[in-house]
Amino acid sequence: MSYTSYGIERELVERVKQKMKHPQVKERVKMTLEGITKYDLQDKTKIRLLVGQLSKVLNEPLTAKQAENIVQFVYDMKIDPNNTFHLIKLWGMFR
């Protein structure tokens, strides 16, 4: 299932991808996500917190609806950040 089916705009994804090309931004995002587990990514409260933190790091303000769409997407994907297959699948979805 594609992120667009969750109401996440392609333009938002493209802006985030551009910002992630900057080494300082990428490092701040990595620090924010350090230690995150698959259990954290199945807790909507923690996902909301992460989305808010990353929104600030990326200087990408989100509406409440955009944030909730992202939270639902992450929750439904059942991402395990320690599973290489999951990461490759996500990378393929956003490249």
- Note the pLDDT tens digit of each residue in 36-71: 999 999 999 999 999 999 999 999 999 999 999 999
Q: Residue 76: pLDDT band by 50, 70, 90 thresholds? A: very high
Burial per residue of 24-38, b for 16 or more beta-carbon CB atoms within 10 angstroms, e otherwise: ebeebbeeeeeeeee
Give percent of the chain with pLDDT exceeding 90. Answer: 82
Q: Are 90 and 13 in contact (CB under 8 A)?
A: no
What pTM did the predictor assign? 0.89
Mean pLDDT of 9-35: 94
Run of H or E residues at 52: helix 44-57
Give the separation between CA 17 and CA 11, rounded to whole angstroms.
Answer: 10
Return mean pLDDT, the chain: 92
Q: Residue 12: pLDDT band by 50, 70, 90 thresholds? A: very high
Give the separation between CA 27 and CA 20, rounded to whole angstroms.
Answer: 9
The pLDDT, as a whole number, for residue 1 is 67
Instruction: Calculate ∠ Cα 55-66-13, nearest 5°.
Output: 65
Task: Identify which of 34, 75, 78, 73 has the alpha carbon closest to the alpha carbon of residue 57.
Answer: 34
Q: Would you list the domain boundaries of the chain?
A: 3-94
